[in-house]
Amino acid sequence: MIQRKATTISSQDNTSGEAGKEDYASDEMLKKSSKEVATSLQGRLDRLTPLSTTCCIYRVPQKLRKVNMEAYTPRVVSIGPLHHGEEHLVAMEEHKLRYLQNFLSKSSKTLEECVEIISREEKRARDCYMERINMSSKEFVEMILVDGCFIIEVILGLCNTIEPGDRIYHKPWLVVDVRRDMTLLENQLPFFLLLTLYSLLAVMPVPGHQNDYYSFLLLSVKFFQYQLQMPNSRSHEETIKNLQRRPLATDTIRRFRLQIHVSNWTQKNERLFDIDYRRSDGVLKIPRLRLGDKCESLLRNLIAFEQCHYRKGRYITDYIFLMEQLISTTKDVDVLVNKGIIDNWLCDNVAVTNLFNNLLINTLIGTDFHLADITKGLNEYCDGPWNRWKAALRHDYFCSPWRGASTIAAVILLLLTLIQTIFSGMSVK
């Protein structure tokens, strides 16, 4: 019995020793694994670059993109790295090279010199993009040079003689899509690169604008005005004076929309966003807005840019929010069209209603809503007892000529009946 007990104790001691070895081995593996993870993470931390303060080109947030993907996607040409190499855009790459050739024929620099100039700006250009660009230095510089020269040649093509074999300006559908693609938020180059390349051209400056910046900016404004069916500005020079140096084309368009002078229904020259509300008589003055088939893509990209880039001063978002509050049905659009506030180039008023009721889905309105006083005044006016009574009367009894005529006839009949009753009572007495 004693011998068996001893054997049992010896067996238990052996099992305990093996368990201890297993725990030790497990700890060693854990330490090794943890060290590998930490080393990997440290390497990633060491490769992090400081956040750029010049970031200005973004991918459209997914919550906005899913509402209307087509509005943010280039159709025929990629500009910059975010859509570079996509299969449906590859066909335009040969046209880009032809435009690069045209650019070099007018440039005061050789191709090698142009590459060297752009190479010096590579770091600054990369910093303009929200996300890291996974392209080698050679690939990035080549893309920037080709795309930048392409943009400049397209813009200059608006006022220069076009070669007979040109594949863009001599194909009406193609030039429309190219210009449209150049307004997309994800399809941008930093504006300073375009100015750098433009300064290398041996071209005559725009009359009255010897400075390359103002000369190229004026050409850009005219180019986008023509493409986007914008009303004519009373003075392009006045517009240019109000535009500051901007990082990309999308913000240039945004500033232009803020500054452009148009004719509104009061026959005054006002900027598009010069909205005024008179509390004394409840009159709301809104400058004319022309709505064409290119407007939805443009407005969506401008709104997306404001959502990504600005914490305050989201003027276009605020403008669309006000219009959305004014437009609930096609009858509201009828009023705005009849008053000359909306110049409708879309198929019908249903399209206008759908446009304004869907533009701001999944967007945020800033705390500094700059039209707050106007909306507050409008709400107070609508909540007034007398104004609500007039609105109900107009809506229920004068919504159409026939309804109005019937209402007036009923009132006249009621008055005649009342008068007859009074005279009948008087004759009895």
pLDDT tens string 232-290: 444 455 454 544 444 445 555 555 545 443 333 233 655 667 888 988 888 899 988 88
Pick from 126-135, 164-173, 209-218, 368-377: least confident: 209-218
Which run of H or E residues covers position 239? Answer: helix 236-242
pLDDT at residue 242 in the model: 47
Lowest mean pLDDT among 93-97, 224-228, 258-262, 326-330: 258-262
Mean pLDDT, residues 394-411 taken together:
62
SS3 341: coil
Quick one: average pLDDT of 362-381? Answer: 87
Residue 276: what are its φ and ψ, rounded to 5°?
Answer: -135, 140
29's tokens: 């593996």
Give pLDDT, residue 327.
95
- In sequence order, the 6+-apart residues with CB closer than 8 A to the CB of 96 are 77, 146, 147, 149, 150
- In this predicted structure, the answer to whether residue 211 has a pLDDT above a threshold of 80 is no
d(CA 9, CA 4): 9
Instruction: Give the pLDDT score at 351.
Output: 95
Q: What is the mean pLDDT of residues 9-26?
A: 61
Question: For residues 255 and 242, what is the distance between their CA atoms, to the nearest angstrom?
Answer: 8
More confident residue, 278 or 18: 278
pLDDT score, position 2: 45
pLDDT value at 204 more than 80? no
> Cα–Cα distance between 283 and 133 in angstroms, integer?
51
Distance CA 370, CA 275 (A): 11
- Name the H helices within 47-56: none
CA distances 349 to 265, 289, 327, 335, 345, Å, are 19, 14, 11, 11, 10
| Band of pLDDT at residue 213, cut at 50, 70 and 90 | low
Is 80 exceeded by the pLDDT of residue 291? Answer: yes
CA distance 219 to 201: 14
Residue 414: band (very low, low, confident or very high) from pLDDT cuts 50, 70, 90: confident
How big is the CA angle at 156 (ends 152 and 159), to the nearest 5 degrees? 170
Residue 139: per-residue pLDDT:
97
pLDDT (0 to 100) of residue 326? 93
User: Using 50, 70 and 90 to split pLDDT, how confident is the model at 217?
Assistant: confident
Query: What would the pLDDT profile of 82-125 be if each residue is shown by its tens digit?
Result: 999 999 999 999 999 999 999 999 998 999 999 999 999 999 99
Instruction: With a cut of 90, say whether residue 323 has pLDDT above it.
Output: yes
pLDDT in tens, 71-89: 999 999 999 999 999 999 9
pLDDT band at 9 (very low <50, low <70, confident <90, very high): very low
Burial class of 278 by CB neighbour count within 10 A (0 to 12, 13 to 18, 19+):
exposed
Total Cβ atoms within 10 A of residue 369: 16
**What pLDDT was estimated at residue 267?**
36
> Within 10 A of 14 (CB to CB), how many other CB atoms are there?
10
Q: Flag whether pLDDT at 364 surpasses 50.
A: yes
**8 against 406, higher pLDDT:** 406
Task: Please report, for the chain, the start and end positions of each structural domain, with discontinuous segments joined by +.
Answer: 1-48, 52-243, 260-371, 384-424
| Average pLDDT rounded to a whole number, residues 356-382 | 88
Tokens of 383: 């909540």
How far apart are alpha carbons 363 and 350 in whole angstroms? 22
Choice among 108-112, 187-191, 210-214, 250-254 with the minimum mean pLDDT: 250-254
pLDDT for the residue 402: 60
Strand 283-285 with 276-278, pairing: antiparallel
pLDDT higher at 45 or 226: 45
- CA dist list (Å): 7 to 3, 15, 18, 54, 103: 6, 13, 17, 78, 95
Which range in 23-27, 51-55, 330-334 is most confidently predicted, on average pLDDT?
330-334
Give the end-to-end CA distance of the chain in Å, rounded to a whole number.
Answer: 139
pLDDT band at 429 (very low <50, low <70, confident <90, very high): low
Q: Phi then psi for 356, rounded to 5 degrees?
A: -70, -25
pLDDT at position 12: 53
Chain centre distance of CA 141: 27
206 pLDDT above the threshold of 60 = no
- pLDDT at 360 exceeding the cut of 90: yes
Residues of the chain with pLDDT > 70: what percent?
Answer: 72
Distance CA 212, CA 208 (A): 11
pLDDT at 401: 65
301 and 59 in contact (C-beta within 8 Å)?
A: no
The whole-number pLDDT of residue 1 equals 45
- Give pLDDT, residue 257: 47
